[in-house]
A and B are shown apart, each in its own frame.
Chain A
């Protein structure tokens, strides 16, 4: 049976994404600058020099160990295109970002919805689900990533073995290793999605849901036609923030697989770190970083443009 939700545009939480234009009217005497400027100045001061300096580095061959810096124009930039490791790194990074964001979102959403449905123990689950995010990434990487998943010394394969399940080469197989990283990241960061989506769900007004039930809609219809659309603004922000961080994935990879085996789990940021701080090749390292920046800016712009439509449809 077709079901059309009643419109609740006034009540839905609006998101900053669609509201860029509608923000307030210019009121006389409003100390607008007072609110924005301190933050803007601080960020500007901390970001301007590094941005320009690092950009400048991309045009040189500066190496931390060897004396003399020479101007090298676009040589570093040209090197980007021949770099096989970089190509693999970009592919891996895109894979990690996509897989982890989607899994974390879906899991976080599911958990948030379920938590709101149960009567007892809500607080308990809410607290437990927050914990992983609070652990230092170094600890998550070593204790959970390496020790737990250690193929011959760790409990996971041991448990699988006891259950009669096959041995999984978590870190020594180039096809499996990327998924191990994804699993570790999902374990830690689903909390983030959970928190934001739980808040979003709790802020939803009750009326559309009651009305839908009165109209006899099924759970699935309620979800797809009311819940999810109303959650779009929160979804957009949460996914954006998490995906931006995932593009810079380095901590887990560095500790668990060091980018290997071979280059199976190499990420761009790990590559930048290696180039700049292990090899001292700041010039090329900065170039790779800026290449990533360009990719991410394109992604974010496109993402925001795409989702703007979706968010406006909700309002």
Chain B
């Protein structure tokens, strides 16, 4: 097979998967423009041909019939704070685990790392009650601060594992030469390591942001009113008397916007950032 043909053959599966992804998204978009009776009547695909599009769902959102400003703000604050904190603390811990030998009793670095990731193994439903009690006494219930703290805790294991991988692949020569020249560890970290790791930190940050932004269980039980987040608002569209598909789709689309924007912004970092090759 000629090279030209082979090169272009690669497009086929890519385009197929792109359609697989885009069709449901397209469906979500047109659903947000459908009237309830359109949904009841059956399947319709093309606006103006199969059904008459209506702005009623979007109007409801913009006019405040469905509260959206508060959940957006709450989600945004909780996700941003927790991902920055997790990246910061996690990055440091990941760096430590990649450079130093720790000893916690019988545990070495790999055991410590395992302990961190084991935090992700217990089904959250079991721990949620304990969290409620803890937060009740700390007066953190139904608060963005409480959510942010909880999410930071959840995200740390990921941050630590990914950043540790990243730092391990980072050659030590730069730091060593800096230390040889008399700089302290902290200065070295601040001046040399950190700038080089911004891509990795950014990439981890956006993954964690997405995880926090879309988290459901803790948001639903720890933040039930004032600190309500977007996922809970979206789920609220599934009512006992019927799922309001049009509103749910519109809300889901709005909910995607911040993450997509963030993704666009940091996209080049995501790809480059998780590798050591960037350093060379």
Contact = CB atoms under 8 A, between A and B. Distances in A.
Nearest to A308: B110
A291 to B, nearest CB: 10
Interface in A227-269: 233, 237, 240-241, 244-245, 247-248, 250-251, 255, 268-269
B25 interface: yes
A30 B186 CA distance: 9
Interface string A266-309: 00110011001100001001100110110011001100100000
Interface in A142-176: 142-144, 146-148, 153-155, 158
Interface residues of A, number: 107
A21 B7 CA distance: 43
Interface string B191-231: 00000000000010001001001101100010000000011
Contact size range, B: 35 or more
B14 A39 contact: no
Interface stretch (A76-84, A112-120, A209-217): A112-120
A289 B125 contact: yes
Interface string A170-212: 0000000000000000010000000110111011110000000
Nearest to A268: B123
Q: Would you call the interface of chain A mostly helix, strand, loop, or mixed?
A: helix
Contacts of B156: 39, 42-43
B127 interface: yes
Nearest to B18: A128
Contacts of B234: 136, 138-139
A47 B165 contact: no
Contact of B267 (A118, A130, A136): A130
B68 interface: no
Contact of B7 (A118, A125, A155, A255): A118
Interface of A: 13-17, 19-21, 23-27, 29-32, 34-36, 38-40, 42-43, 46-47, 49-51, 53-54, 57, 107, 110-111, 114-115, 117-119, 121, 123, 125-139, 142-144, 146-148, 153-155, 158, 187, 195-196, 198-200, 202-205, 233, 237, 240-241, 244-245, 247-248, 250-251, 255, 268-269, 272-273, 276-277, 282, 285-286, 289-290, 292-293, 296-297, 300-301, 304
Interface of B: 7-8, 10-11, 13-14, 17-18, 20-22, 24-25, 27-28, 31, 39, 42-43, 45, 89-90, 92-93, 95-102, 108-110, 112-114, 116-131, 133-134, 149-150, 152-153, 156-158, 160-162, 164-165, 168-169, 172, 179, 184-186, 189, 203, 207, 210, 213-214, 216-217, 221, 230-231, 234-235, 237-238, 243, 245, 248-249, 251-252, 255-256, 259-260, 263-264, 267, 270-278
